[in-house]
């Protein structure tokens, strides 16, 4: 039966095989750490705080990638006694951490920009433009390494967004620095910073919901719970269904467990009816992981809830 898990039509996430994916993330980390080191050394020699500040940005990108990389590795471990559902959700935990830090960065940038509007700082144009140019190249390389993978993995997408935010920061600095050099137009710096902060927050807040949904055992966004219940009820030999739990084991793996009541007098057909349910769930909804508890019509749960389970009655002592 286990061959059943993988043959439904959700194979859009296999164009980067795991090992090649690991290599890409690894190189992205290496590039960011290499630049961090170079900038810190340069900053110390040039006495430039801007260089060191930029190094911190790249270091934070490297950390977000390291978190993503470690999570990918953990996620591939098979289930064991401690983690009976497997480790796949490690990626969702990593995404949650990375989106949370991104939201903090976004808020911090907005706060910085707001202060600068009232007190515009003189900016050392050239140096900053050059630094930002170097940083932009690194962020572009990182983005290219992780872009394809970010489409199918919330984990990589969160790390990718960290790098994208940083690349935008570099572009902004180049634009702002150039305008300051040409026109001494200091307000451009906070204005651009605010735009970036808004972009980061908008994206992170939109994405973090889906991650939390998986961790909260929410139903898969692409599957209507009502439709699943309806389909099970229509399976030949089924009289009703309750105790339905529909969730995502991890990002691309919907799962279901429920109690199925067999029509009166058809108990001898129970196995065939169960197989019909499984086949239907796989074909209609791509649900490969399901646990079905069969109940005969006479001994079904008393007063069941359709979704979720009824609260156990407090025993009157």
In order of their start, the domains of the chain are 2-215 (1.20.1510.10), 225-299 (3.30.70.1350)
pLDDT of residue 57: 80
Residue identified by tokens 């190189």 is: 27
pLDDT of residue 250: 85
Three-class SS state of 139? helix
Q: Report the distance separating Cα 312 and Cα 304, nearest Å.
A: 11
Q: Exposed (0-12), middle (13-18) or buried (19+): which is 138, by Cβ within 10 Å?
A: buried
Q: Report the distance separating Cα 181 and Cα 128, nearest Å.
A: 11
pLDDT in tens, the chain (317 residues): 444 444 444 444 445 677 888 888 898 899 889 888 888 887 777 666 767 777 888 888 899 999 999 999 999 999 999 999 999 999 999 999 999 999 998 999 899 888 888 876 666 667 777 878 888 888 888 888 888 888 888 899 999 998 888 888 888 878 877 887 787 777 777 888 888 899 999 999 999 999 999 999 999 999 999 999 999 999 999 999 999 999 998 888 999 999 999 998 899 999 999 999 999 999 999 999 999 999 988 877 887 888 887 766 655 55
* Residue 261 exposure: Cα atoms within 13 Å on the Cβ side: 17
Q: Report the distance separating Cα 53 and Cα 274, nearest Å.
A: 61
pLDDT of residue 10: 46
Structure-block tokens of residue 31: 């590039």
pLDDT of residue 4: 44
pLDDT of residue 5: 43
pTM: 0.82
Q: Report the distance separating Cα 119 and Cα 223, nearest Å.
A: 51
Buried b (16+ CB within 10 A) or exposed e, 219-238: bbeebebeebbebbeebebb
The DSSP code sequence of 96-127 is HHHHHHHHHHHHHHHHHHHHHHHSPPP--HHH
* Continuous segment of H or E residues that includes residue 197: helix 188-215
Q: How is residue 220 annotated by DSSP?
A: P
Q: Who's near 200: CB < 8 A, 6+ residues apart?
A: 102, 103, 105, 106, 109, 161, 165
């Amino acid at each position: 039966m286990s061959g059943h898990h993988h043959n439904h039509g959700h194979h859009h996430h296999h164009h980067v095989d795991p090992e090649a994916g690991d290599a890409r993330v690894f190189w992205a980390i290496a590039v960011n750490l290499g630049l961090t080191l170079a900038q810190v050394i340069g900053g110390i020699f040039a006495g430039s705080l801007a260089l060191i500040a930029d190094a911190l940005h790249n270091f934070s990108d490297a950390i977000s990638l390291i978190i993503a990389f470690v999570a990918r590795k953990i996620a591939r471990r098979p289930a064991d006694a401690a983690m009976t559902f497997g480790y796949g959700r490690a990626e969702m935990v990593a995404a949650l951490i990375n989106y949370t830090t991104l939201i903090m960065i976004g808020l911090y940038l907005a706060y910085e920009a707001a202060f600068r509007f009232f007190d515009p700082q003189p900016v050392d144009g050239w140096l900053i433009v050059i630094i930002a140019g170097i940083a932009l190249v690194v962020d572009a390389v990182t983005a290219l390494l992780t872009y394809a993978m970010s489409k199918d993995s919330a984990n990589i997408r969160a790390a990718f967004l960290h790098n994208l935010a940083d690349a935008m920061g570099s572009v902004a600095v180049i634009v702002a620095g150039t305008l300051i050099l040409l026109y001494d137009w200091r307000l451009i710096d906070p204005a651009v910073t605010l735009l970036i902060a808004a972009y980061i927050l908008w994206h992170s807040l939109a994405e973090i919901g889906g991650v939390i949904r998986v961790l909260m055992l929410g139903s898969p966004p692409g599957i209507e719970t009502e439709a699943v219940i309806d389909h099970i009820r229509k399976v030949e030999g089924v009289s009703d269904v309750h105790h339905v739990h529909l969730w995502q084991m991890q990002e691309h793996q919907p799962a279901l467990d429920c109690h199925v009541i067999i029509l009166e007098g058809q108990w001898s057909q129970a196995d065939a009816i169960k197989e019909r349910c499984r086949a239907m769930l796989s074909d209609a909804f791509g649900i490969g992981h399901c646990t079905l508890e069969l109940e005969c019509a006479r001994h079904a749960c008393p007063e069941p809830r359709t979704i979720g389970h009824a609260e156990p009655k407090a025993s009157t002592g």
